[in-house]
Amino acid sequence: MTFSIRDIQARCAALGHSPGDIDGMMGPNTRAAISDALRARGGRRLPDLFHPSGLHRIHLHWTAGAAGVIDLELRHYNEVIDHEGRAHSGHFPATAQATYRVGHAASHTLNANTGAIGLAVDCMAGAVERPFDQGSAPMTQAQVDALAERAAYYCEAFDIPVSPFSVLTHAEIQPTLGIRQRWKWDITWLPGMKEPGDPILVGDRIRELVQRKMDMPWAA
């Protein structure tokens, strides 16, 4: 299991021990965050900060596809949620992301697939950001609910905190983790919004939903 410095920084931040900016540099703030986090968890070594599975983040996407889950989508995400809110298992299970290799795990986020589970809602074909046009297959509320529910399941299963550093939309990857993405317009709009919004604020709304699902007494 290997973790990049960025992964370690994001994990510390997710656990409530901020290393400052997620910049991929092992500086004094990062070292301090690591020892704080280890002390809080009663761990000794870096891997002790992580779940034994090696999974530590969930990335939320939309496919930009038309209604109807297709093979290509199932190859790119660990789960794809259709318009009715049904989750379809991808070709690679979430655990395949622990040791990411092309062809053996889902490729859902540029340079950030290792340890990251990719969940997608199948929607937004033909959507245009500005002026906003939701296209022929806009995201449904059933999809948002199911996305939050599936994320809550994985958070619970793999000890992933519901934080902006560990449960984030594809649109947040670059601003929050500093990992450059080729421009791709990905979750910045939710049903009921007049137009796309700030990626972090939209991410916050989804995380709120995920947290609510986790707080339900009957949650997994």
Other C-beta atoms closer than 10 Å to the C-beta of 26 total: 13
Nearer to Zn ion, 122 or 186 (CB): 186
In the window 87-126, what residues touch Zn ion (CB under 5 A)? Answer: none
Q: For the purposes of burial, counting CB atoms within 10 Å of the CB of 102, is it exposed (0-12), middle (13-18) or buried (19 or more)?
A: exposed
Handedness of CA 20, 26, 32, 37 (dihedral sign): positive
Nearer to Zn ion, 50 or 62 (CB): 62
- Find the shortest distance in angstroms from Cβ 203 to Zn ion: 13
In the window 172-191, what residues touch Zn ion (CB under 5 A)? Answer: 186
Count of residues in contact with Zn ion, rule CB under 5 A: 3
- Find the shortest distance in angstroms from Cβ 131 to Zn ion: 22
Three-state SS at 7: helix
| Paired tokens of 125 | 């074909």
Nearer to Zn ion, 45 or 72 (CB): 72
- Find the shortest distance in angstroms from Cβ 52 to Zn ion: 27
Give the DSSP H/E element, type plus range, for residue 121.
Answer: strand 116-121
In the window 129-158, what residues touch Zn ion (CB under 5 A)? Answer: none
In the window 8-67, what residues touch Zn ion (CB under 5 A)? Answer: 61
Nearer to Zn ion, 98 or 121 (CB): 121
State which of residues 170, 176, 189, 207 lies at the interface with Zn ion (CB under 5 A): 170
Are the C-beta atoms of residues 155 and 167 closer than 8 Å to each other? yes
- Find the shortest distance in angstroms from Cβ 17 to Zn ion: 28
Residue 82 lies near Zn ion (rule: CB under 5 A) = no
Nearer to Zn ion, 7 or 186 (CB): 186
Handedness of CA 11, 179, 143, 72 (dihedral sign): negative
Nearer to Zn ion, 83 or 170 (CB): 170
Q: Compute the distance between CA of residue 6 and CA of residue 157 in angstroms, rounded to an integer.
A: 23
At 204, the amino acid letter reads D
- Find the shortest distance in angstroms from Cβ 76 to Zn ion: 8
Strands 79-81 and 87-89: antiparallel
Contacts to Zn ion by CB under 5 A: 61, 170, 186
